[in-house]
Amino acid sequence: MPQLSIIVPTYCEAENLKNLIPRISQVLKDSDIVAEIIVVDDNSPDETIAVCQTLAESFPIQLITRKQERGLSTAVIAGIDAAAGEFLLVMDADLSHPPEAIPDLYAALQNQGVDFVIGSRYVNGGSTEENWGWFRKLNSRIATWLARPFTNAKDPMAGFFAISRHHFLKVREILNPVGYKIGLELLVKCRCRNVVEVPIHFADRTLGTSKLSFKEQLSYLRHLKRLAEFKYQNYAYFVQFAIIGLTGVFVNLAALSILLHWLIRPVAIAVAIWISMSTNFLLNRNITFSYARHAPILKQYLTYCGSCLTGAVFNWLTAETLCRSFAYFEQNTLLAAFIGILTGMAFNFILCRYLVFAKQNTVRDEG
Ligand code: GDD
Ligand code: MN
């Protein structure tokens, strides 16, 4: 029975595997670690599968070939599902992650109370290749910065990490990652507190090509949205709702400035309101409350309009009541109006969240 399972997701990594597997094996031998290596390949069109089968004659490799599915995160989960070790370590196949760091990550994970270990580029002693251009550096920094609300780890985007099986099993059923960042998903969902970062040097791949496409980067944003909803729940929905509300102000003013050329003012204002309400509806349906985007649109749109109207009535009532009841607000009408806006928005939000875009069991829960 292996103590450690090393999961290596691959897509077209034939040449790299030939180097990686013997290097891992040497490291394990030198440090007396009994481990299995699980390669999860998504039916690569190159020689990956054949190379892996040949290597399996000399090394403790289990090859999982997935024919129906593609994707780094789900490949890692499939690998962990098949793993036998009590400790799990995930790393890339392209030699960006030094196999020589495996014993350090493994040792750190065995320390009392440690939940999660990262092979980290961004702690003291860690590094990336010096030839990274400014764009790549900036890209990596922004992606890391966007993960700040979810974790204090310095390198939460790392694909080189270790976690114990019992920790993993606690959240197995609620994992729902899109794209690349399975490490971040685990950090957040496991509510990992004691995270240790072992410094590593992240080398650039010399063989094969990166699969991190622009599409994957967009997936990252969708992933962040899901994590925000998981961690912050209604606050996360409200922030999205508020941002979209703000875009509505601009849509409204832009539409009005155009419409005024053709229509008389009262009509132009009404049409501008209708346009911005409709764009807000579409944005909320597809982004904020995207879990409800498969529900029939017409009924949803009409209830949305009703909800906005209700919000507007509460807005008006609040502002008017404040002005009539307090001399202070009578003199500061704008402040009363602002509080009215907030109240109306809160009502509108609650109606949207629980009525217009209500979560139904039959609706696919995807962000
Ligand atoms: N099974 C499977 N399916 N494996 C995949 C897939 C897929 O769809 N896409 C990529 N992989 C494998 C690659 O073969 C490689 O072993 C590993 O996942 C990482 O893929 P790369 O294409 O080399 O990614 P990268 O170098 O751009 O990104 C790496 O560094 C990032 C930090 O800079 C990854 O480790 C990321 O997780 C990490 O965030
Ligand atoms: Mn890589």
Report pLDDT digits (tens) over 247-285: 999 999 999 999 999 999 999 999 999 999 999 999 999
The structure's pTM equals 0.87
State the pairing for strand pair 4-10/35-41. parallel
- What distance in Å separates the CA atoms of residue 76 and residue 79, rounded to the nearest whole number? 5
For residue 12, the ligand closest to its alpha carbon is 1
For residue 72, the ligand closest to its alpha carbon is 1
Whole-number Å distance, alpha carbon 160 to ligand 2 midpoint, is 11
Whole-number Å distance, alpha carbon 74 to ligand 2 midpoint, is 17
Report pLDDT digits (tens) over 322-350: 999 999 999 999 999 999 999 999 999 99
- What distance in Å separates the CA atoms of residue 163 and residue 138, rounded to the nearest whole number? 28
CA dihedral 49, 54, 57, 59 (to 10 degrees): -70
Q: What is the pLDDT of residue 361?
A: 61
For residue 122, the ligand closest to its alpha carbon is 1
Cα diameter, the chain = 87
Atom of ligand 1 minimally distant from the CA of 16: 16
The pLDDT confidence band at residue 1, using thresholds 50, 70 and 90, is confident
Q: What is the pLDDT of residue 179?
A: 83
Mutate to test the pocket of ligand 1, among 122, 180, 186, 187 (most ligand atoms within 8 A of CB): 180
Q: What is the pLDDT of residue 177?
A: 85
Per the model's pLDDT, the better-predicted residue between 281 and 365 turns out to be 281
Q: Among the listed ranges 151-165, 199-213, 309-323, which one has the minimum average pLDDT value?
A: 199-213
Residue 363 has pLDDT above 70, yes or no: no
Is the beta carbon of 92 within 6 A of some atom in ligand 1? yes
